[in-house]
Chain A
């Protein structure tokens, strides 16, 4: 544990500097690579827009909902304050120099950074490169686990870039490898480590990845009324997947017992799987509605950019918010991906949900007739994705709605009696209240 505290100290010092002086200071920080994009460190929690990204894989500590009852396995007695559970995870280290990347060892986040790319365009030459660095496991130096990136659902993957260790290669500790993709097919996908997948996925190496269609910025058939964004989930040709704001959700489960065993050098029989927490973007309610954060920030509220989510250090490594906000009349896209091992049924009272795509394929038949599914819920199984659109209802005062997993058995934290789990809020404001959501800032 001494080693880990040292790492925390190091990052905290740099984070403080970042918080105090902002991006300019970051670019000048000794060792930062000339030409590296300085915005990375202060990017709104999740997103990546460049076609080349650098991810680091390592372990770390996070915090589950404080209202859960304590058990033998949670909170973990090894966890450094203010954290309580051991995880594996990815971090976005794009633009950091080698020392900066290495300093993230032991500082994993859940869920993984949301990755967004534009559909391939020969004129833009925007093939995707994802570089993965394996920083090792700070709490388990006895383990020599490799890591990989599996872009789940990517069509036409070749084995080398599919991330299944036994059928290609995996990245050893202290090494890196670049995965290469030509993003032909818009849609919502997910990515995860495929090394000893039942463990590494459960431990937190999961995130949402999506491809934006080339139709963006156009108005096919002038179908989109004035005042709405020319953003689409798919190349629909008719504007039917248009949205004004978007929110990504990585649905997962946490079996606290297995996380405890990994931290305490014990083995787990994965067929005993019995989750204790149900998460949206790495947090369970009420943490789901706390805002975005920046894991590189060492302070609650930096002078510019993001600090800890909601000013809470315990959520520092769970930076992605699940709070949905929209103005009346706006269309909201929910990108749902499930990398838990259970089915989930996301439900909204009072607001109809329209599923426009499953598994990154728009629901349209061979003759071009759409078969979008209307209802008040979207069912999503393990390894599946859904694109769901709703229209924010007309309100005259800010009004809150709930989006939650109708499997009520999953709406608690650690078996406790208070509401928890995969539940979040939709806050609808009167028209014109919220500014336009930047296209690079989902979940904001």
Chain B
């Protein structure tokens, strides 16, 4: 419901102002979080951590994330060793078949571990990574854990088939998954990192590769853990729904946004109209939560090509990929899709909207609602933006299009119940060649 009082979000406006400020001062501001490598300059798209030795060192640490409604929530997460807390953990990128080493340093007050679903020959400190039983035969951890506070375990595995996977804690999983101990492992084809899987038709535009890690948070649980109080896990009730650790509209902010120091990864899907000869964009959906997230990208179907590292082929090995307008991602599952964003009205002369259809005058439309819009007040891609009513912030730069992409369990598309939030991001479609530089 909308009352005559606008539900203006001061924080939202501040964030947008900050984008401008960062854009102006970006060159002189220090990169936050000590992530001073080349990747930190990547404003948009998936940010990979990779190295020739396929060796990574992660710390399990505590920190705080912020939500668009101004809440600050205690959380746990994996981060690069010696670096500050972040959610989700760093994106580890490796080649299929590679032997990968991950050293875990536990700085949390209880044992923490790492599991690598979908990978093979997993070892912990050189021994097979088996479930841990106490002397009474009770399962205490899905895999060997690093002791509390200062423990270390060295895990190794052979990277599986190309695709998108989770790494996550296998200890006290009901609590630790909720608290944020998860991250993405991206396995690329050994022969060609420009393909999503081993099939030739999975080649994608490496400049347009996006990862959407989906999860949710019950702030009451997090608060109980922070205060070291008991919590009845039967009462878990998610209030925040995240993509890459952020909720809408924070999902739109660039990677490494300074005002989100613990949530370094944006989720804006940035495209241009697809033309024959182009490679499509690749979108990797990964569910780190414990319920289904029925994710709906507006405007065009996406083509599902890989699930859980398995390419979509039939028993004869023939392409069995399929189009969907709703990407349903179950707990722990991944779905990789190709997005070929098609221009509208391809068979309409001049691609003109018929003359009897008019954009209403400003007084005959609601802009927003609220204090901002992404609509250029011009129906055409790249069209000259039209006037706005006084007091409305225009987020549109050059007549580019925006489509929303969100969970269609619409209670998940909210921030603690407030709509146009939660598990939601935007697909931005620029005119071919991108917006002109101002």
Contact = CB atoms under 8 A, between A and B. Distances in A.
A198 interface: yes
A271 B374 contact: no
A180 to B, nearest CB: 5
A226 interface: no
A272 B324 CA distance: 29
A382 B237 CA distance: 19
A198 B1 contact: no
Contacts of A202: 410
B396 to A, nearest CB: 9
Contact of B301 (A177, A180, A361): A361
B3 interface: yes
Contact of B294 (A166, A271, A358, A383): A383
B189 to A, nearest CB: 20
A123 B318 CA distance: 37
Contacts, number: 204
A171 B365 contact: yes
A172 B365 contact: yes
Nearest to B323: A361
Nearest to B406: A197
A381 B413 CA distance: 15
Interface residues of B, number: 68
B426 A167 contact: yes
B238 A196 contact: no
Given A165-B368, A359-B323, A363-B322, A157 B299 contact: yes
Interface in A348-363: 358-361, 363
A371 interface: yes
Given A145-B2, A166-B373, A167-B375, A361 B322 contact: yes
Q: Give the interface SS of chain A, mostly helix, strand, loop or mixed.
A: loop
Interface string A168-186: 1111100101101010000
Nearest to A269: B417
A262 B373 contact: no
A433 B189 CA distance: 60
Nearest to B325: A153
Contacts of A144: 2-4
Interface in A126-159: 127, 129, 140, 142-146, 150, 152-153, 155-159
B402 interface: yes
Contacts of B407: 382
A384 B326 contact: yes
A343 interface: yes
Interface of A: 127, 129, 140, 142-146, 150, 152-153, 155-160, 162, 164-172, 175, 177-178, 180, 182, 195-199, 201-202, 262, 267-273, 341-343, 358-361, 363, 365-367, 369, 371, 381-384
6 nearest interchain CB pairs? A383-B408, A269-B417, A366-B319, A169-B365, A153-B325, A198-B410
Interface of B: 1-4, 237-239, 292, 294, 296, 298-301, 314, 318-326, 328, 342-348, 353-354, 356-357, 359-360, 364-370, 372-375, 379, 381, 401-404, 407-414, 416-417, 419-420, 426
8 contacts: A140-B1, A146-B369, A153-B325, A197-B413, A361-B324, A365-B320, A371-B320, A381-B292
